[in-house]
Structure 1
Amino acid sequence: MAIENIPEIYIKDSKPNPDVFVYDFKMATDVIKSKVNLSMHMFSFLQVGKKQVHFADTSVAVNKNQSLLLKKGNWLWTELLDADANYFCKLLFFSEDKLLEFLNKHEDSHQANEDEIAYFVIENDSYINAYINSLSTISKAPAIFKDNLLFVKFEEIMLYLINKYGSKFKQYLQSLISKEISPFKTVIESNVYSNLKLEEIAFLCHMSLSTFKRHFINEYKVSPGKWIKDKRLKKAKETLEQGHLKPSDIYFDFGYNNLSNFSIAFKNKFGINPSDIAS
Structure 2
Amino acid sequence: MELPRYFINHTEHLPDVYIKKYESKTNSTREKISLTHHLISFIIEGKKELIHNNTSQSVPEKHYILAKSGNCLMTERCSTNEKYSSFLIFISDSFLDRLSNKYNTKIDFSKEYNYSNAFITLTFDDFIKYYLESFQEIISKKETSKEIIEFKTEELLLYLANNKKINLYQLFQVQKNRQFKNSIENNIFSELKLEEIAFLCHMSLSTFKRTFFKIYNTTPSRWIQEQKLEKSAYSLRYENKNPTEIYYEYGYKSLSSFTQSFKKKYGVTPKKYKTR
TM-score where L is the length of structure 1: 0.57
- Whole-Å separation in 2 of the counterparts to 1:18 and 1:56: 25
Q: Deviations over 1:125-148 (max 9, x none)?
A: 1210111122212223464x5200
- Whole-Å separation in 2 of the counterparts to 1:89 and 1:149: 20
2:76 to 66, 70, 79: 79
- Whole-Å separation in 2 of the counterparts to 1:90 and 1:7: 13
Conserved? CA contact 1:43–1:70, under 8 Å: yes
Deviation (angstroms), 1:88: 0.5
Name the count of aligned residue pairs: 174
- Whole-Å separation in 1 of the counterparts to 2:178 and 2:57: 22
Q: Deviations over 1:6-41 (max 9, x none)?
A: 111101362211111111111111123210011101
- Whole-Å separation in 1 of the counterparts to 2:93 and 2:20: 18
Deviation (angstroms), 1:107: 2.4
- The unaligned stretches of length 5 or more in structure 1 are 182-279
- Whole-Å separation in 1 of the counterparts to 2:46 and 2:36: 24
What is the one-letter code of the residue matched to 2:130?
A
- The unaligned stretches of length 5 or more in structure 2 are 180-276
Q: Identity percentage over the alignment?
A: 26
- Whole-Å separation in 2 of the counterparts to 1:115 and 1:45: 20
Report the equivalent of 2:169.
173
Conserved? CA contact 2:42–2:62, under 8 Å: no
- Whole-Å separation in 1 of the counterparts to 2:153 and 2:64: 15
Larger radius of gyration: 2
Report SS of the residue matched to 2:82.
Answer: coil
Runs of 4+ with >2 A deviation: 107-117, 140-143
Deviation (angstroms), 1:45: 0.7
Report the equivalent of 1:129.
129
| CA separation of 1:75 and 1:103: change in aligned 2, threshold 3 A | same
Report the equivalent of 2:55.
58
- Whole-Å separation in 2 of the counterparts to 1:74 and 1:152: 28
Report the equivalent of 1:69.
66
- Whole-Å separation in 1 of the counterparts to 2:157 and 2:30: 29
Conserved? CA contact 2:47–2:58, under 8 Å: yes
Report the equivalent of 2:211.
none
Report the equivalent of 2:185.
none
Deviation (angstroms), 1:83: 0.3
Report SS of the residue matched to 1:31.
Answer: coil
Q: Deviations over 1:47-99 (max 9, x none)?
A: 00011100122122211121111111101001111001100001011111001
2:40 to 26, 39, 43: 43
- 1:1-279 equivalent positions in 2, closer than 5 A: 4-12=1-9, 14-108=11-105, 110=109, 116-141=116-141, 143=143, 146-166=145-165, 169-170=166-167, 172-177=168-173, 178-180=176-178
- Whole-Å separation in 2 of the counterparts to 1:175 and 1:68: 12
- Whole-Å separation in 1 of the counterparts to 2:9 and 2:133: 23
- Whole-Å separation in 2 of the counterparts to 1:47 and 1:19: 24
Report SS of the residue matched to 2:137.
Answer: helix
Report SS of the residue matched to 2:29.
Answer: strand
Report SS of the residue matched to 1:25.
Answer: strand
- Whole-Å separation in 2 of the counterparts to 1:20 and 1:92: 7
What is the one-letter code of the residue matched to 1:162?
A
